[in-house]
Structure 1
């Protein structure tokens, strides 16, 4: 053995192995947008990503899968493809082509290193430097995983609740100021009106009411999506990720000390954890995509109903293996230790190996108990299917809906259009106060629940329709029979589709709108579009904000719901 070979340490070998693993993900069968990527340079100074995508797909007929937006001020970007053939065709077509008076160039791009492995190498090297320069210092103590999981899930866990409310009230004020500025930028006709509003409401475009909250601020969360993985010591665990993959961590933290999760859910999760500990199947490893146990979704209600949706990656399991696994789960929760968890509705879900989402070719499989759970809200009973949306804080939802009703002030002459109605909770809550409710929702199972909820609560003035809001809103609006029309919009975090907003603007009878947002910053674009000047595209007078009510649906987190009440601004105003 040579002297140089003798000097090669185990640590050196480990470092070299990690560096080799930086690009190991490219050899897997799973698709990655890094594998067939090109770099496009020479782009014009001003253009939109949407424009560029249309240029690639419609004009050049290239089959790309992803365009990665460029860094601000850069004249290049990445475009990804699903095969080497598509990538090579794109290079030959794009290289030298003119677009917006700019000559483009295209070349194959090097893939990015695995961010998880990269961060591990960086952490090792940083630790090595510290050990050389700080040999006399005491070792750095790692943050306890119980504290870290609090910081990632309930970051305000150590802040007194009154201070949390003050913080959120202040943040909502900032959102409204930004919204007012954006509205003025897009509709100069509102300058005088906005100036008047600012004088009335201390610089705000509308009145901001004091933040509302439910009496129960702990154990309020009725739905959680838990990760099945390994803790910092390598043990199987069900909890929440301590950090992101790109940040260099795949460890999962415990839920024992998380105050927003109800005890019935914690106890049931711990019991399922025992089953997974005894299972021969390994937990899913996001680094190399091995292992089967991946996630469990838990839903609880005030009626002590508990739903589990257990998601696994099938990997190489045969149909017989999967059948055996499902039988073992069913027997565990019906006759074994799992009976103590009192799961009233049990489902099994096959997950896509790469994305972790439900495989489109398969559906949820009902294993045991009822196919739904039920919840009481505002004196009514609601059926909730596994994939149906329901507010994650039931008591908070009651506060939210009461505030929405107070803002809308419906009467018997009012028709309510409930956009993104879910299982019909908002519409049914309004049904006692208005003459007619028409709800629409894209999730078919949620509409089934809404119709059942209508019947079992003895409500006769509600109808519900399946479809995307942008597709079915216009025909639903034409079904209304009442002289006054009010819309309530409770869209997903990303907001309402543009075509749906245009349809609301066009509805002549619609003079009032209640917009509920779980992400007020993201909702600004929708609210600005509703307030744009009357034009060929945005026909109808603008709908402008009149009053805003914050509702704290998520104590101990930074999230806050905001209800914005809007009215049609007449030309005379």
Structure 2
């Protein structure tokens, strides 16, 4: 019987959904972080249930052929890169298997036409957005970095190997500024202190840089020195404050105040320019996003006479990408500010065949279909991790587009939703994962489903 604090030797046989290694000891399953398939390891049992438990890696006795030394010295502690110790090709294989297993086990799809995962050419320094929590350590020193895995303990660092490299200069300056002018970091337990987070964004094609300081107050002192220092960083276009005085773990508040420059930066995906504010949802990996959207466009196979609905459209990222090939695109999003951004993005690109509506898609789409006789040849959905609302899936089935292109960031909820659509008369035609988040367990997937009546033509 395996008990807490037992030290055991196990061989890792598989990887779990969260990137943890899975090993067995006399038939008993253990989940162990920072291990790779093939590792022979000494572990200490931290939690033991009846049929499985969790253990801590103590020593690698024999390393796996797939194990590599992470380029980042804090990769094992930070919560951002769960599988940086895996060879990148093995990471891609893991993500393909993750999607396939979800579609089979959750979705019930036996025969899957799954195309090879779209990997990254260089899986480092790819994120155009980073959020650095600010706090103090036990000695009272300012710490800026990232939360340790599954905690709110901040690991102090100037360097993230998956974030934009301009962050190194930004964080070094902000550390110096905070210490020199005694800017009090936020204490989330006491709900005191001023500086909560440092949010950065970078336009990979434009080179434009944004720094947004999230504060527990109305203003920040020594703004002239703040601007003077940050403006020295090449590409700086936007310095602003985000006001968040709520006692919450949510990073951003609703109010943004300009300190210098603009309250936005601009960047491109393909030929489409997007205006990005601190509150905008915008894919964090622009190089892979272009591949992702091109894949969605390929699956939609637009001929120029289709009416397309983009549900969960955000700031219009996919909508405007599709508009070049479609007769008309309608975007729907429940967040008003996102729709305002989408309209601005359409205007600055001279796109006049895209319209955007604020509201729940399951209400807007049927209303427009019934009252204005607006059709839907293709529906594109790009929901959050929780997947599509069931009412929305029912709406799609009732509207009966010829094609549904589903862009997913969670294979489990994707599989659940595809199963529902399949039961509603749609066939799964194509599946292709895309690695947007190298060294993490997350994976994007693009799927084409066709109405059964159109399956032969789709």
TM-score by length of 2: 0.77
d(CA) in 1 for partners of 2:390, 2:79:
33
Most deviating of 216-225 and 390-399: 216-225
Q: Where does residue 259 of structure 1 map in the other structure?
A: 161
Q: Where does residue 360 of structure 2 map in the other structure?
A: 468
d(CA) in 2 for partners of 1:241, 1:359:
16
Q: Which structure 2 segments of 5+ residues have no match?
A: 1-45, 47-71
1:146–1:253 contact (8 Å) kept in structure 2: no
CA deviation vs aligned residue, 1:43-74 (integer Å, no higher than 9, x gap): xxxxxxxxxxxxxxxxxxxxxxxxxxxxxxxx
d(CA) in 2 for partners of 1:477, 1:279:
58
Once the 2 structures are TM-superposed, how far is the Cα of residue 477 of structure 1 from its aligned partner?
A: 4.2
Tell me, yes or no, if structure 1 residue 527 matches structure 2 residue 418.
Answer: yes
d(CA) in 2 for partners of 1:550, 1:565:
12
Once the 2 structures are TM-superposed, how far is the Cα of residue 430 of structure 1 from its aligned partner?
A: 1.2
2:227–2:239 contact (8 Å) kept in structure 1: no
Compared CA separation, residues 162 and 475, structure 1 to 2 (3 A)? same
1:388–1:443 contact (8 Å) kept in structure 2: no
Tell me, yes or no, if structure 1 residue 286 matches structure 2 residue 188.
Answer: yes
Once the 2 structures are TM-superposed, how far is the Cα of residue 244 of structure 1 from its aligned partner?
A: 3.8
Q: Where does residue 409 of structure 2 map in the other structure?
A: 518
d(CA) in 1 for partners of 2:200, 2:298:
33
d(CA) in 1 for partners of 2:348, 2:283:
20
Compared CA separation, residues 468 and 365, structure 1 to 2 (3 A)? farther
1:203-218 pair list within 5 angstroms: 204=111, 206-218=112-124
Q: Which has the larger radius of gyration?
A: 1
CA deviation vs aligned residue, 1:227-265 (integer Å, no higher than 9, x gap): 1113576521221012444xxx62333141x32111112
Q: Give the number of the structure whose residues are more often helix, by fraction.
A: 1
Higher relative contact order at CA 8 Å, sep ≥6: structure 1 or structure 2? 2
2:133–2:198 contact (8 Å) kept in structure 1: yes
What is the DSSP-based 3-state SS (H/G/I as helix, E as strand, rest coil) of the residue aligned with 1:492? Answer: coil
**Aligned-residue CA RMSD in angstroms?**
2.7
d(CA) in 1 for partners of 2:326, 2:425:
24
Once the 2 structures are TM-superposed, how far is the Cα of residue 481 of structure 1 from its aligned partner?
A: 7.4
Pairing partner for 2:86 from 128, 142, 159: 159
TM-score by length of 1: 0.62
Pairing partner for 1:309 from 209, 212, 215: 212
Compared CA separation, residues 269 and 161, structure 1 to 2 (3 A)? same
1:286-365 pair list within 5 angstroms: 286-302=188-204, 303-314=206-217, 322-323=218-219, 325=220, 328-329=222-223, 331-335=224-228, 337-342=229-234, 343-357=236-250, 363-365=255-257
Tell me, yes or no, if structure 1 residue 179 matches structure 2 residue 71.
Answer: no
d(CA) in 1 for partners of 2:230, 2:349:
33
d(CA) in 2 for partners of 1:226, 1:572:
48
Q: Where does residue 307 of structure 2 map in the other structure?
A: 415
Pairing partner for 1:377 from 263, 266, 269: 269
2:308–2:326 contact (8 Å) kept in structure 1: yes
Q: Which structure 1 segments of 5+ residues have no match?
A: 1-121, 123-144, 182-193, 199-203, 315-321, 533-540
d(CA) in 2 for partners of 1:572, 1:384:
38
d(CA) in 1 for partners of 2:346, 2:435:
28
CA deviation vs aligned residue, 1:393-429 (integer Å, no higher than 9, x gap): 1011000011111111111221110111112121111
Q: Where does residue 22 of structure 1 map in the other structure?
A: none
Q: Where does residue 348 of structure 2 map in the other structure?
A: 456
What is the DSSP-based 3-state SS (H/G/I as helix, E as strand, rest coil) of the residue aligned with 2:79? Answer: helix
1:550–1:563 contact (8 Å) kept in structure 2: yes
Compared CA separation, residues 457 and 229, structure 1 to 2 (3 A)? same
Once the 2 structures are TM-superposed, how far is the Cα of residue 309 of structure 1 from its aligned partner?
A: 2.0
1:412–1:434 contact (8 Å) kept in structure 2: yes
d(CA) in 2 for partners of 1:240, 1:359:
16
